[in-house]
Copies of this chain bind each other. A is one copy, B any other.
Amino acid sequence: MRAAAMKIGELASLTGCPVETIRYYEREGLLPEPARSASNYRLYAGSHAERLRFIRHCRTLDMTLDEIRTLLDYHDHPRQPCNAVNGLIDEHLAHVEARIEQLQALRGALVALRSRCSGEADSSQCGILSALAQPAAEEITAHRESSHVPGPHGSH
């Protein structure tokens, strides 16, 4: 008796990954094309669930699909020593740490900005608005090239 095949909705609720995202990963070549039923429904096996969990785990770590593709490649072809896996993680870790530092600088700037207005006056007097009209400080302007981790507007 083989492992039970499941339809895409079952895989979705099993992994917490939306149906449309699963199809997207397939288009992107991260998930192999599954078998099809007579009525053309996708039929997944346990190995698909495993692979999808791998992908979603990497995504919660904010890796790009390209980084994940590389990891999956190591997973699929266990050849050379996995130094490159370490390297990828290290690089990603560096990106995350850089982004944390940027955001902390940003936070400082926002706190300073916030302190400029008590909220009582008319907005023509507002210290926040007038401060924003000045060019930004260097400390914050500079950081635009070091990181690749998304800012606060990524995931509602």
Contact = CB atoms under 8 A, between A and B. Distances in A.
17 contacts: A50-B133, A56-B136, A57-B134, A60-B109, A61-B113, A62-B106, A75-B133, A78-B126, A79-B122, A80-B122, A82-B122, A89-B113, A95-B153, A99-B103, A100-B104, A144-B155, A148-B153
B82 A117 contact: yes
Contacts of A57: 132-136
Secondary structure type dominating chain A contacts: helix
Contact of A85 (B106, B111, B123, B148): B123
A107 interface: yes
A58 interface: yes
Identical subunits present: 2
A96 B145 CA distance: 19
Interface of A: 16, 50, 53-54, 56-58, 60-62, 64, 71, 74-75, 77-83, 85-86, 89-90, 92-93, 95-100, 103-104, 106-107, 109-111, 113-114, 117, 119-126, 128-129, 132-136, 140-141, 144-145, 147-156
A78 B125 CA distance: 8
